[in-house]
Amino acid sequence: MRKYELMYIVKPSLDEEARTAVIEKSHAILTDNGATLDNVNEWGLRELAYEIEDFKKGYYVVTTFTSEDTAINEFNRLTRINKDVLRHMIVRLED
Q: What is the pLDDT of residue 94?
A: 85
Say if CB 4 and CB 36 are below 8 A apart.
Answer: no
Q: How far is CA 45 from CA 2, 16, 78, 90, in A?
A: 29, 11, 23, 20
Q: What is the pTM of this model?
A: 0.90
Tell me the mean pLDDT per 10 residues along the chain, length 95.
94 94 94 93 94 94 93 94 94 87
d(CA 70, CA 41): 23
